[in-house]
Every structure is written in C-alpha cells, then in structure tokens.
Amino acid sequence: MLAIAGTPCVAMGETVNISTPQTSLILDAAEGQPLKILYYGDRLSEADASALSDGGGAMWLNAYPVYGIYPMAEAALSVTHSDGNRTTDIAVTGVSTRTDADGGEVTTVKMRDRFYPFDVNVNYRTYPAEDIIETWVDVTNGEKGMVTLNRFLSGYLPIRYGNVWMHSLYGTWADETNITEEPVPHGVRMIKNKDGLRNSHTSHAEVMLSLDGRPRENQGRVIGAALCYTGNYKMFIDTDDGDYHHLFAGINEENSEYHLKKGETFTTPELAFTYSDEGLSGVSRNFHRWGRNHRLHAGDKERKILLNSWEGVYLAVNEEVMSGMMEDIASMGGELFVMDDGWFGDKYKRDVDNSSLGDWVVDKSKLPHGIYGLLDEASRHGIRFGIWIEPEMTNTLSELYERHPEYVVKAPHREIVKGRGGTQVVLDMANPKVQDIVFEVVDTLMTKYPAIDYIKWDANAPVMEHGSQYLTADNQSHLYIDYHKGLEKTLDRIRTAHPDVTIQLCASGGGRVNWGFLPWFDEFWCSDNTDALQRVFMQWGTSYFYPAIAMGSHISASPNHQTFRRIPIKFRADVAMSGRLGLEMQPRDMNEEDRAVCRQAIADYKAIRPIVQFGDLYRLQSPYERKGVASLMYVTPEKDDAVFYWWKIETFMGQQLPRIPMAGLDPDKNYRVTELNRIDNQPLPYEGKTFSGRYLMSNGLEMPVTYRVDYHKNTDYSSRVLRLTEVR
Ligand code: GLA
C-alpha cells in the first residue's frame, strides 16, 4: 500500500511517500522491519513511487541507522540500555500522519526495539507549498531503569556516490560565512561546533551537495541540509567504499551523553533538507521561502530601516548623543533607532566592557530621564526605539554576580574562567531560577516600556568550562543540552508574553546564525565586520541558507572600523540595501553629500523593500569566483518586479569584466529599467528603457566600470542597483 503524506491514510507498512510540490522522499515502512529509505529527489509519480519497492534503483538503506547489529557502520543513534546492552535493533510498528497548527503535515514512523520497551519515532514534516522536509526523532525509554543516549542525531541521508561536491560555510568573528567548496572526499568530512552558545562561528550547521560536479548557481541538482539547533552540533559525510555518501546531522554528543529515566522522551532538533534542480540558488530559494513562511519569527512582516548606535559611539551612550542620533536617522527617513551596549548599571557602570551585565537598570548618570525620556524623544521624531541586552551573561563585576555566584556556569574546584573584559561569565540556563531571571530581563523592559519596538539580544561568550552548579554530579554531561533546553523554554515564555517586539539575534556578530534560533527571532546580525567589500562575500555565504529579510546589513563609517578600508558611501549603501538596511555610525560625522546619498538610499529601499524582503533570490555572479564583479537579484514571486545588484570587487586597468545575464524573470514579460541610488551626472544609457525578460536573461545589460561623476570624485569602486518593473 502507498501512503502519501498529508492524506489521511495510514500505511499498513510498505511504501510511504513524503512528497512536496517538487520533491519526493520514498520510504519503506514494512512492519517488523527497520525503516528503509528508497529514494530522495525530484517528485515522483505515484506509479514510479510504487514501482520503486520492486527494484528500479531504490537505495534500500536504513533510513535511521542505529548502533549494535553490524556495528562497523556509522549510526545516527547509539544507546546503552538499562542492563548495559549496547546494541539496539529497531523495527517498524506503525505509521501515522497528522496536521499540526502551522499546516505542517507530519508523518511519524514508529519503531520499537525487538527486545526492549524502547521506542524510536522518526518524524517527517512537510508543508503544502514548500519543498523542504523536516525530520527529527523522539526516543522514549520504557525500560525499568536508566538508558544512556551516547549518540542521538536528528537525521541521516544517503547520497549516491558520484561527482558530488560539498559546500559549507566557515569563519570566525568579523570574518563569518566564508564558502568552502570541494569534492566530497573519501573518509569522513566533518563540520562541527563545540562553543556551547554561539554555533555559527567556526562553521555553520548547513551544507549543500551538488550532485553533478562543480556547482552552478541556477542549474544542476543540489541537495541542501540545515540542522535547526541552538547548541553544539555535528554534521558529517562518511564516504566508505560503498555506493553511497552518508550524511548525518544532529546534536554533538561529545561530552553530552544523556540519561533518560523510565518514561522519559528525548526529542532531537529538526534537520531540514531540500532538493532542487535549479542549482545552489534553487536550494537557497527553497530555504528562504520555507523560513519566511514557517520558521522565522514574523517572517511576513516588513523590517524597519534603523540606526544602531554601536559603531557610532560604542559605550559612550548618553541622552544628548542618543537624541542627536534619533534626530539624524529620522531626518534621513529611517524608522527606528537602537541604543546598543552602555546604557545600564547602577553600582557598577558600563563604561568599559568589563562590568554590569545582569544589572539591567538604567545608568541615570548617562540617561537622567531614563528610557521614558528616550521613548518620548523617539516619538517626537516619529520613529520607534530599540534597546540592546545580553541576558544570558553576567560579569564578576556586577550586583547580580555578587548576589548569586551560584548562577553561573562553573566547574567544582576550578578557578572560574572569565571572558570579555576579563570578567564576563555565562549564566547557567539549565537552572530554572536563571531562566526566570532571563525571562524577567525582557518581561520587565517590555512591561515597563511597552513602546519598545526592538530588542538586540547579544551573547558574547562561549561555555568556558564544563560545569553546572545546578545539575547533579551524575548529570553534568547534560550541561550543553540542558542549557539550550532552558534557553528555548525561556524564549517560548518571552514570545508568548511579547509576540510583537522585533528581536535581533546577535552573538559577537554572526555567532548565532542558525534556523534553530529563528522561531523566536526576527533577524540576526551577520557580523561585527561592516566593511562593505567583505560584506559582499559574507552576505553571499549567508544567503545560501538565510533570506535577506533576516540579514542585518548596515551602512557604516569610512574608513571602516574593522578593516580601515575607505569605501565611498554609494558602494556602502548599495551593499547594505541588499539585506535588511540599516546604519551603524554616527551620522553627525557624515558630510552633507554622504547624508544625501543615505537619504536617497533609504527612500529607494522603501520602494524595493517588499522585493528584497519577500522576493526570490537569484545569485548571478559569485564574488568567490574572483571575476572582478559580484551580482545577484531579487524577483517577486509574480515576476513583475525585480532588483538587480552589481558590485565591482576589484579594480585593474584593462580588466575584462563579464557581462551578467539576469535570471528569474519571465522571458515573455517586458521590464522598464530604473537605476536606484543614482550618483552619476548622466543617467545610464538604458535608463527608462524597456527590455524583454528573455533579452535580460540571455544577454544582460552592460555596466560602466566606474561611476560617471566629476573627475575628482572618481574612486576605484563601482556598483549599481537597478529596478526592473514590468510594463504591461
Ligand atoms: C557584540 C556585538 C556588537 C555590539 C557589542 C556591544 O560584539 O556583536 O554588535 O552590540 O557586542 O558590546
């Protein structure tokens, strides 16, 4: 019998077809047998799906391999049963389907150990309009005693051996989301994170696999996978001498074995995967659409254009300066001002970054009229107000730490290890009392000042020693996992109480860019590096899995504070406009000309905001190919409006820059070209002209290599933003 996800039928064991509009995952769930995966790829007809079980190239591999019988292969689950037996042998007992509140259709394949009352449910969720499948596992201990989970990954996917290339993201503070591309090697290629808190520095928990050799942006078969988790993870591809590459992903079990008492269930985070025959960009579009519709908090609401105070004034926050910044961003057309670090502390003042985290009271010496005064000022300027917090942290120089040294992560008999400022320590989110404190940081702010529109939630430290003062001695291995369970519980409480406040997730820049966080957060800060040139590369990598609506992308000062590079305001604005536009500088330091460019960029961004924030991304020319330019575009789902970005990333005389054919348009529609953010003395030759989608996609438009400005204003930079609007 064939069971199709989303239909109310329950398979009697046999073929289970988990289909999305363009993809199919075919499983065999015969009762009494381990669950098998037969196929994953392009959507199959029912006839092909049924025929698979009779042969036809089906994989017939365990869909969720467990450790014990044939222990030489890698497994997704490894358990020590209550009697010490380290083998697990599971077989299907049934399949059920249900529809959840979000319209997701969940197929659960229930399995039980052949001897022990130990249950493993493998779940698959699809949505009617998305090409993503989410998978996760619930493990329940029905045995008399304690079961120890030694490995408990979220999912497994076999990929036919061949010319498979792997793409992943790596980086560190101020150098996030670099792309690495390589043929999948024999042996094990591992991506992992053990920071404890910030899981997208080092590397990202996502991967793309091109099935047809060296990847292309808009052609070729590609599988993408993203582990949606807030904590330590591992993702690895094991290639032995068989016919398959084996992709595993889940929580990093290192030093985290988990004890399950009788009756307890452990639920893994979700692994979201997709398949597209439209290349890397196709996979990205699948993630972006699914993310905006089902994962990102308020993914259907436009994001405001903001000024954040950090690079403008760092910790030197005070009422006069904040008011001035609000006046300036309002005068340029911005909609929101965010006061970053430096506003709090009573006994200890936050004048340098070595104190006061945890003491979330206004520093009256800096802000004599408090938050109310700032909110009044914002409303006087017709903008909204936001504020920075770092609620999971404290400093040894703080009133919170003086009162409760037992609330921080610390191992017995060890000197406490301190981070930023020589004093920063991490609060132990495994502890329910700490969870209350963290909830109250947000709840108190929002209850006292309901007009706060935006919170920047930061986290600037890793777990620096393995020890929970809350967990019992025999459960110290739960620290990494219970920290995140506690964090997620707290975020649930926060969102139940305060669903409407926009919350940005930041962690030493882009340290927490993971789909696991985004159900509670509206956006993330990509990096503390705001250099526009490096941002072209970093935002390119980020866009592999994350949509522009979630990507904080700010115009900052020149010379840049991280790279000291001098970049003209036009280029800085053209890069920032490809994400969620903001400013990160002291506007008072800008000259009138630069202000005018910002004002124009903000006005133009307002017009294209729905296209950038809700449109489909087509990456066209990767900066990583070093062809001298990078280019991408966003197109509305109706293909009636688009924005094209072109950035020159190198300058040499005699350079032969490629002309960039566009993508994603309707060949049969006609589009009028308008340049945005124009600084040239004359319009481009094709300004206001109309071209067919077919011409724009087969040929593209020539871009002048420089801005066409007065001679003394020439620089080595050049960039263009063009809007393409359908002419009916
Ligand atoms: C981190 C963030 C910055 C800024 C500072 C404040 O480094 O990434 O954007 O908020 O903290 O201390």
Q: Which of 131, 359, 528, 574 is catalytic?
A: 528
Closest Cα to atom 4 of ligand 1: 310
pLDDT at 7: 38
Q: CA-CA distance, 674 to 188, in Å (whole number)?
A: 50
| Predicted local confidence at residue 4, as pLDDT | 47
Helix and strand counts by DSSP (H, E) for the chain: 12, 38
- pLDDT mean over 126-151: 98
Q: Are strands 132-141 and 270-276 parallel, antiparallel or unpaired?
A: antiparallel
Give tens-digit pLDDT for 280-327.
Answer: 999 999 999 999 999 999 999 999 999 999 999 999 999 999 999 999
Which atom of ligand 1 is closest in space to residue 388's alpha carbon?
A: 10
Q: How far is CA 559 from CA 69, 532, 566, in A?
A: 61, 11, 4
Mean pLDDT value across the chain: 96
Cβ atoms 364, 317 nearer than 8 A: no
pLDDT in tens, 483-498: 999 999 999 999 999 9
The CA distance from 198 to 509, in Å, is: 10
721 CA to middle of ligand 1, Å? 30
Which residues does 191 contact at the CB level (< 8 Å), separation at least 6? 168, 203, 204, 205, 207, 234, 235, 236
The terminus-to-terminus CA distance of the chain in angstroms comes to: 50
Question: Ligand 1 atom 7: the closest Cα is on which residue?
Answer: 508
458 in active site: yes
Q: How many of the other CB atoms lie within 10 Å of CB of 349?
A: 17
Ligand 1 contact, 530 CB (< 6 A): no
**Residue environment code for 450-485, b if the CB has 16+ CB neighbours within 10 A, otherwise e:** eebbbbbbbbbbbbbbbbbbbbeeeeebbbbbbbbb
Q: How far apart are CA 678 and CA 603, in angstroms?
A: 12
From the CB of 341, is ligand 1 less than 6 Å away?
A: yes
DSSP code string of 363-398? -TTT-TTHHHHHHHHHHHTT-EEEEEE-TTEEESSS
Given a cut of 90, is residue 438 above it in pLDDT?
yes
Residue carrying structure tokens 């436009």: 302
Are 75 and 137 spatial neighbours (Cβ–Cβ below 8 Å)?
no
Ligand 1 and 311: CB distance under 6 A: no
Is 528 in the active site? yes
User: Who's near 178: CB < 8 A, 6+ residues apart?
Assistant: 169, 170, 171, 537, 538, 541
Side chain identity at 511, as an amino acid letter? G
Percent of the chain at pLDDT > 90 equals: 96
* Residue carrying the six token digits 């509140």: 101
Q: How would residue 46 be classed by pLDDT, with cut points 50, 70 and 90?
A: confident
Using the mean position of ligand 1's atoms as its centre, give its distance from the Cα of residue 457 in Å. 10
Find the 511 Cα to ligand 1 centroid distance in Å. Answer: 11
Environment class of 552 (CB within 10 Å of its CB; exposed 0-12, middle 13-18, buried 19+): buried
Which residues, in sequence order, are CB contacts of 69 under 8 Å at separation 6+? 87, 89
Does any ligand 1 atom lie closer than 6 A to the CB of residue 458?
Answer: yes
- Report if pTM > 0.85: yes
Residue 508 Cβ inside 6 Å of ligand 1? The answer reads yes
Nearest to 717 by CA among 536, 544, 488: 536
Q: Which atom of ligand 1 is nearest to the CA of 508?
A: 8
584 lines ligand 1 (CB under 6 A): no
525-543 residue pLDDT tens: 999 999 999 999 999 999 9
- 5 falls in which pLDDT band (50, 70, 90)? very low
Q: 10 Å Cβ neighbour count for 189?
A: 19
CA 582 to ligand 1 center in whole angstroms: 15
Alpha-carbon radius of gyration of the chain: 26
What confidence tier does 102 reach under pLDDT thresholds 50, 70, 90? confident
Cβ atoms of residues 526 and 542 within 8 Å? yes
CB 208 within 8 A of CB 167: yes
The verdict on the CB of residue 641 being under 6 Å from ligand 1 is: no
Side chain identity, residue 533: L
**Nearest partner of 125 among 264, 39, 251, 25, judged by Cα:** 25
Q: Which atom of ligand 1 is nearest to the CA of 506?
A: 8
Distance from Cα 460 to the centre of ligand 1, integer Å:
8
Q: Which residue in the list 175, 195, 458, 594 is annotated as catalytic?
A: 458
Atom of ligand 1 minimally distant from the CA of 340:
10
Kindly state if the Cβ of 343 falls inside 6 Å of ligand 1. Answer: no
